[in-house]
Chain A
Amino acid sequence: MMNEEQKQELLIRYLDDRLNPDERAQVSELLRTDPGAREFLRSVAEQAVTFADGERTLLAGQTELHARKQAPLAPTSSVVRVDFKSWLRPLIAAAVIVLLGIVLFRQIPTTEKRFVSVNKVIGSSQVFGFNGEVENAPNARTLLGSGDTLESQSCDSWIEMTLDDGLQMTVAGQSELNILDSKKDHRRFNLQHGSMWITPSSRTQTAPVTVYTPTIEVESQDTQFDLQTSKNTTIVRVNKGTATVRQHMDGSLVQVPEGSQVIASLRRNTPLEVFAQPTPINYWACDLWKAPEVRYGTWLEPNGIERARLGADPLPWPMKDREPLMLYAAALSVLGTSEHPVLMKEGGMLLVRGRTEKTARVRFGFSTQKMRGVFSGKFEIDVQPGDLASAGETWEVKLPLANFHALDPRLRSSPAGLELKTVYALTIEEDAGLEINHVELIPAAETN
């Protein structure tokens, strides 16, 4: 007859997959007949997932920024496998740095009002300080306060931040965020352009936050929402809680409840209206000629073959101790081209048509978020020149989603089940005259 402690240890060993067949039978019998054992197992399960949840929000690192410069390009034809152990160590180191940062952050006098702690920086970014100082490569130890401007500059970049009350913010792609002020009970930001995700702390109540964009202001507390803005349109989607949105143009004010969205556009010139977020679709074709929202790049003249030509623009990636690395990028936002969220499913593929004036390897990528949830990272793949057409000729590549590798596998290792946010293509260090003519997401059933 086992005592309670022995029963609990047996269950812990079961969860460690270390039981022989006799002991497994013993566990089955115990769980079938002993409500106390089941209660313990359920409690262990709840503790494990809640602890992991908390850690997930705390985790940060800056492993990609330097690694990506030197990393060999990913092959086109095979799935890039993530070696858990190899990225785990730097990630742990990065997490330690972040935790140290948080400790230091908490020791800084509040008079400096540095209430935003950068947790993770991936890709090109810059900070323009309130005092005129420019930081070319902010990192996981960077602290920000009132008057600072943070720019995530490249289509493949993103920055994660935590406020001193635990609120999580992410800006991604080409985004410019001005930190306005932090009063005792209210924080204000201005998102000049780009995409932003706000997630309240899972552990404590956070102060109200107001985010201004060129068209609206959003006020919220303990609300999970995302917003995407350009100079004349803003889309706000509330995934948890409620946000209050006011349109600058006419002062119209709406409450946006969980599962709803609001679109403010200077072109529409109508009062704000709240809609339920539409159901997702899994096929998406981007009609470039209908001029969707370009996140980066320049429209080129039609050339007789292609009506829509989005050319890559140079994009300097500032480096701390060296000349900037030049990228040449073109990027499109999905949200502007589809009324429905676009859902990626297992077995799907991205089809891209385009050309380069010179032979070059091209990096394709996309950003994601959870359906009605938080930012979930970016995925990329490199295609070698041999897999593209000759210089000057149009190519069409079919890129299985499973072949893209996650820039941060901890956020999500596979894009299946995530919402597609932006799609981009770029060349590195060489202007190859890259242009994109067509982008399409093809679901599994149609790829066979």
Chain B
Amino acid sequence: MPLNEHEVLQTLMTWRSRILAAAWVVVHDTHAAEDIFQNVALKAMTRDVTFDSEAAARSWAFITARREGIDWLRKHKHKTQCLDDGILEILENDWLTEPAASTGTRVDALRECLDSVPENSKKLLRLRYFEGYSCEEVADQLGAGLNAVYKRVSRLHQSLKNCIEARIKRAGETL
């Protein structure tokens, strides 16, 4: 039996952070990624698409987000360097094969980790991912060199990744 509208929406919301992230990998703009997710959810509700299973809805959502992302780049004549379809598919597959149950846990862990990030690192993330500045513009604002900004961004992401994994591991041990 096909999923009803409520079940489709629930699936999309459960996978929201990953679908958003997949859209972001295409457009490199967090606000555009949010709009893309919104459009995906709308299409799922308003178009004549039916899904036999949650897996089908998930897979459709990733593909639709990718296409919407590519359309967005075209429409905005963006110079964003887009990965080819084959690689985007591999990334989507990685996302899809990670257990669904871990989605919420990962997002919660990430939020906790972000809360513990020092203010100057938050500023860096804010300028780069919320205000949408390029690394060069961030470097100008912070009075730092471009390579130094690349290093800082890269290390910050790695430390957040480590923090998330540690928290998930701790949560698993306490269960």
The answer to whether B111 touches A203, judged by C-beta atoms less than 8 angstroms apart, is yes
Query: 20 more A-B contacts (CB under 8 A) besides A31-B83, A41-B91?
Result: A8-B154, A18-B134, A24-B81, A27-B83, A28-B84, A32-B86, A40-B158, A40-B161, A42-B21, A46-B107, A48-B24, A48-B128, A49-B129, A53-B34, A59-B130, A203-B111, A258-B9, A259-B6, A280-B46, A370-B38
The listed residue with most B CB atoms (<10 A of its CB), out of A48, A92, A240, A276, is: A48
CB contacts (< 8 Å) of B84 on chain A: these are: 28
Judge whether B115 is part of the interface by a CB distance below 8 angstroms.
Answer: yes
Interface hits, B3-49 → A, CB 8 Å = 5-6, 9-10, 13, 17-18, 20-22, 24-25, 28, 30-31, 33-35, 38-39, 41-42, 45-46
CB contacts (< 8 Å) of B126 on chain A: these are: 51, 55
The one of A19, A276, A371, A373 in contact with B6, judged by C-beta atoms closer than 8 angstroms, is: A276
Docked complex Cα distance between A107 and B5 (Å): 46
CB contacts (< 8 Å) of A28 on chain B: these are: 83-84, 87
Size category of the binding interface on chain B: 35 or more
The answer to whether B130 touches A8, judged by C-beta atoms less than 8 angstroms apart, is no
Task: Knowing A9-B150, A15-B28, A47-B110, say if A55 contacts B130 (CB, 8 Å).
Answer: yes
| Distance of A375 from chain B, by nearest CB (Å) | 14
The answer to whether B154 touches A5, judged by C-beta atoms less than 8 angstroms apart, is yes
CB contacts (< 8 Å) of B42 on chain A: these are: 280, 343, 371, 417
Judge whether B53 is part of the interface by a CB distance below 8 angstroms.
Answer: no
Judge whether B160 is part of the interface by a CB distance below 8 angstroms.
Answer: yes
The listed residue with most B CB atoms (<10 A of its CB), out of A5, A15, A50, A259, is: A50
CB contacts (< 8 Å) of B63 on chain A: these are: none
CB contacts (< 8 Å) of A417 on chain B: these are: 35, 38-39, 42
Judge whether A17 is part of the interface by a CB distance below 8 angstroms.
Answer: yes
> Which A residues lie at the B interface, using CB under 8 A?
5, 8-9, 11-19, 24, 27-28, 31-32, 35, 38-56, 59, 84, 88, 92, 202-203, 240, 258-259, 276, 279-280, 343, 370-373, 412, 417
Judge whether B60 is part of the interface by a CB distance below 8 angstroms.
Answer: no
The answer to whether B154 touches A17, judged by C-beta atoms less than 8 angstroms apart, is no
The one of B106, B150, B161 in contact with A12, judged by C-beta atoms closer than 8 angstroms, is: B150
The one of B22, B80, B164 in contact with A45, judged by C-beta atoms closer than 8 angstroms, is: B22
| Distance of B139 from chain A, by nearest CB (Å) | 10
The answer to whether B157 touches A202, judged by C-beta atoms less than 8 angstroms apart, is no
| Distance of A15 from chain B, by nearest CB (Å) | 6
Show 10 residue pairs from A and B whose CB-CB distance is below 8 angstroms, ordered by the A residue: A9-B154, A17-B134, A31-B90, A32-B90, A47-B110, A47-B157, A49-B21, A202-B111, A258-B9, A276-B6
The answer to whether B6 touches A12, judged by C-beta atoms less than 8 angstroms apart, is no
Judge whether B51 is part of the interface by a CB distance below 8 angstroms.
Answer: no
CB contacts (< 8 Å) of A9 on chain B: these are: 150-151, 154
Docked complex Cα distance between A32 and B34 (Å): 26
| Distance of A340 from chain B, by nearest CB (Å) | 11
The listed residue with most B CB atoms (<10 A of its CB), out of A19, A31, A240, A370, is: A31
CB contacts (< 8 Å) of A24 on chain B: these are: 81
| Distance of B124 from chain A, by nearest CB (Å) | 10
The one of B80, B87, B150 in contact with A17, judged by C-beta atoms closer than 8 angstroms, is: B80
Interface hits, B134-175 → A, CB 8 Å = 134-136, 150-151, 153-154, 157-158, 160-161, 164
CB contacts (< 8 Å) of A258 on chain B: these are: 6, 9-10
Judge whether B79 is part of the interface by a CB distance below 8 angstroms.
Answer: yes
The residue in chain A whose Cβ has the minimal distance to the Cβ of B78 is: A17
Judge whether B125 is part of the interface by a CB distance below 8 angstroms.
Answer: yes
The answer to whether B91 touches A52, judged by C-beta atoms less than 8 angstroms apart, is no
Docked complex Cα distance between A279 and B111 (Å): 33
The answer to whether B81 touches A19, judged by C-beta atoms less than 8 angstroms apart, is yes
10 closest Cβ pairs, A-B complex: A52-B30, A45-B21, A49-B20, A48-B129, A55-B130, A16-B135, A43-B161, A8-B154, A46-B21, A259-B6
| Distance of A187 from chain B, by nearest CB (Å) | 23
CB contacts (< 8 Å) of A40 on chain B: these are: 157-158, 161
Task: Knowing A8-B154, A28-B87, A40-B161, say if A18 contacts B135 (CB, 8 Å).
Answer: yes
| Distance of B11 from chain A, by nearest CB (Å) | 12
Task: Knowing A9-B154, A38-B90, say if A46 contacts B106 (CB, 8 Å).
Answer: yes
CB contacts (< 8 Å) of B41 on chain A: these are: 371-372
CB contacts (< 8 Å) of A18 on chain B: these are: 134-136
| Distance of B116 from chain A, by nearest CB (Å) | 12
